[in-house]
Structure 1
Amino acid sequence: MNKQRGFLLLAVCLSFLLGLYVLLPFLEYVLAAILLAYVLHPLHVRLAPRIGPRLSPVVLIGFSLVAVVAPFAYVFAALVRDLRAIAAGESGLRVAEVEGTIATYTGRSVDLERWIRVGAETIFEVSFSGLAELFGAALKASFGLALVLFLLYYLLKDGACFVAWLKETTPLPPDVTDRLYCRIDATTWAVIVGHVFVAFVQGMAGGIGLLLAGVPDPVFWTAVMILLALLPLIGAFLVWAPAGVYLLLIGHPYAGLFLLVYGIVVVSMIDNYVRPIIIDARARLNPGVILVGVFGGIYSLGFVGPIALGVLGATLSTFKNDYHRL
């Protein structure tokens, strides 16, 4: 390596580190914009010839805001409402019957009403007591959302040119570059769309079970299960299992048993059959890798965790297959 190449390589590394340092405070929002643009790009390709390349990103951004923000806002508003009601002693649950059933089978009296009320008060106070911290988090989130929308618009409008530039800049033979980007594309698409699709199917299946079992407010709990299903090892189980036990304790054994069996046989089996078909087969990632990626991403890159590991796998595969040709 001569001095000119060494200097250029050093300049690239320093520029990359400086750029990463600048982006680090809002890195999660930049990654979110990239992932959203990646998911919405096929729709943009179809919509842009009809309404124009400048208006298409605006329409898709509006659609994304409604599709993403609305479920979170609905769940958050309903959760705050229920916490206030529980803290005021108006949970709507048949606590007395549950306490009676527990006393019948265990011989001990349990004050569940007080435990539920104290728990709701604690959650409410912890979540909303620090107004300064809450205001700071809301301010940062608003800046982050503005950044996501700004980047999303230009990524949709000029994303194809950016990807073409990346391919031209990649110092690999064209055929190796194409295979590498195809592997990354397959991994990313399978992880993003697969996880979201499986979470939606699992949540909807659980919602149907709640509706058939007669659980109150099945729409709200369906939305909660869809959000929880995005997390591995947790998922919709946190909703349908307690609901089934609750039905058993209040004297509805058939509905409770139906919901528990339905959850085990139908809802839980979606992870065992649908997820491998959609994610593992296309991304060629072991479920353990996806699990580590999601949990590791919670502490580092968020939902990008399994995608980062998938990109690492694609890069190592390219290294293994094509390094001897370089």
Structure 2
Amino acid sequence: MKRSQTFLLGLIGVFAALAFIIVLPFVEYVVLAALLAYVLHPVHRRLEARLGETTAAVALIVGTLLAIVAPLLYVISVFVADLRSIARGGSGLNVAVVETQILEATGIEVDLAEILTSSAQQIFTVLFGGVGGVVATTLKIGMGIAVMVFLLYYLLLEGEAFVVWFYDLVPLPDHVTDRLLEKLDATTWGVVVGHISVAVAQALLAGVGLWVAGVPDASFWTFIMIILSLLPLIGAFMVWGPAAAYLVVVGDVGSGVLLALYGLIVVSLFDNYARPIVIDRRAHINPGVLLLGVVGGIYAVGFTGVFVGPIVIGVLVAAMETYRTEFDAV
């Protein structure tokens, strides 16, 4: 390799590392902007014929902020409030009755209040860096949303040009690049539209059941179910099942039985029927792997890791599969 090529590659490596360090604090918002641009691109293509390219992009961004970001921020604020309340011992659950029932049935004393408090404190620390980190997290989210909106605007306008640039830049045969992009498209669609959307919808359905049944902090448990719903078969049952049992134990038998029936008939059947319909079968994404991405993503980058983690793992799997099929036999 010539000295000039070596120098240029070294220069690219150094500045790529510096660029990564600069982008790292907001990498989740960069990924979110890319995902939103991916989802909104077909809509933008249709609108630009009527409104023009720029107006269509602005309209889509405003609509996205009103339809997704604003409600999401509200849900996060409610979740934080509930989490802080539980961390301070205000779970709203009648833990004394449950502890008495467990003691009478098993002879074992269980301090449920302490378990709930310590668990909430740990979750709070992982997501927000403790109580003192809430303000810093709020400021970061505000800046991140601004970055996301800025990138989303230009990705909607220049997305196709970026794909062309990607084709020219990647040192792969065209058919290999096409195959890789097809796998990336199937993986991204499976994660965003498939597993995550079904998990969110299933958790919201179960959350409505918790709220109607009178379970305290229903919004908090709904957020937990969004993550657990990525687990096959059991998923949200890990929340609404014990919630139904709790209602029975504290004496609200009717609500507990109705919640159990609602969970079995509505929540579980929705997951069983919706997931095969919504998910693109080409993706072949294992929900267990996605759960690992969700939990690891939340731990690494915060709340938006719900989306970032599975996408990163999905892209890795797609790249490895492409390498196996195209180059492993060479």
Interval of TM-score (by shorter of Structure 1 and Structure 2)? 0.7 to 0.9
- Candidates 309, 313, 326, aligned match of 2:317: 313
Residues 86 and 117, structure 2, Cα contact 8 Å, conserved in 1: no
Larger CA Rg, structure 1 vs 2: 1
- With over 3 angstroms needed to count, the CA separation of the structure-2 counterparts of 1:9 and 1:99, relative to structure 1, is closer
- With over 3 angstroms needed to count, the CA separation of the structure-2 counterparts of 1:147 and 1:259, relative to structure 1, is same
- Candidates 290, 308, 318, aligned match of 1:304: 308
Following the alignment from structure 2 to structure 1, what is the Cα–Cα distance between the partners of residues 274 and 267?
Answer: 11
Which ranges of structure 1 fall in alignment gaps of 5 or more residues?
none
1:228 — aligned with what? Answer: 225
2:37 — aligned with what? Answer: 37
Following the alignment from structure 2 to structure 1, what is the Cα–Cα distance between the partners of residues 79 and 290?
Answer: 31
2:140 — aligned with what? Answer: 140
Count residues in correspondence: 316
1:73 is aligned with what amino acid?
Answer: Y
SS state of the match for residue 285, structure 1?
coil
- With over 3 angstroms needed to count, the CA separation of the structure-2 counterparts of 1:158 and 1:95, relative to structure 1, is same
1:215 — aligned with what? Answer: 213
Residues 187 and 283, structure 1, Cα contact 8 Å, conserved in 2: yes
Following the alignment from structure 1 to structure 2, what is the Cα–Cα distance between the partners of residues 129 and 321?
Answer: 43
TM-score, with length taken from structure 1? 0.75
Following the alignment from structure 2 to structure 1, what is the Cα–Cα distance between the partners of residues 244 and 238?
Answer: 11
2:243 — aligned with what? Answer: 243
1:22 — aligned with what? Answer: 22
What is the CA distance between 1:165 and its match in structure 2? 1.0
What's the CA shift string for 1:53-107, capped at 9, x where partnerless? 112222222222222331441463486389779989895x778987897798789
Residues 203 and 223, structure 1, Cα contact 8 Å, conserved in 2: no
- With over 3 angstroms needed to count, the CA separation of the structure-2 counterparts of 1:257 and 1:272, relative to structure 1, is same
Following the alignment from structure 1 to structure 2, what is the Cα–Cα distance between the partners of residues 29 and 129?
Answer: 19
Residues 191 and 307, structure 1, Cα contact 8 Å, conserved in 2: yes
TM-score, with length taken from structure 2? 0.75
Residues 280 and 286, structure 1, Cα contact 8 Å, conserved in 2: no
1:63 — aligned with what? Answer: 63
Q: How does 1:1-326 map to 2 (within 5 A)?
A: 1-66=1-66, 67-74=68-75, 76-77=77-78, 80=81, 115=113, 133-207=133-207, 209-210=209-210, 214-216=212-214, 221=218, 225=222, 228-231=225-228, 232-233=230-231, 236-237=236-237, 239-264=239-264, 266-268=266-268, 270-271=270-271, 274-275=274-275, 278-279=278-279, 281-300=281-300, 302=305, 303-323=307-327
What is the CA distance between 1:196 and its match in structure 2? 3.0
Following the alignment from structure 2 to structure 1, what is the Cα–Cα distance between the partners of residues 131 and 95?
Answer: 33
What's the CA shift string for 1:165-220, capped at 9, x where partnerless? 11221111222211111111110111111133212331343246447xx51489x8
1:143 is aligned with what amino acid?
Answer: M
Q: CA RMSD in A?
A: 4.2
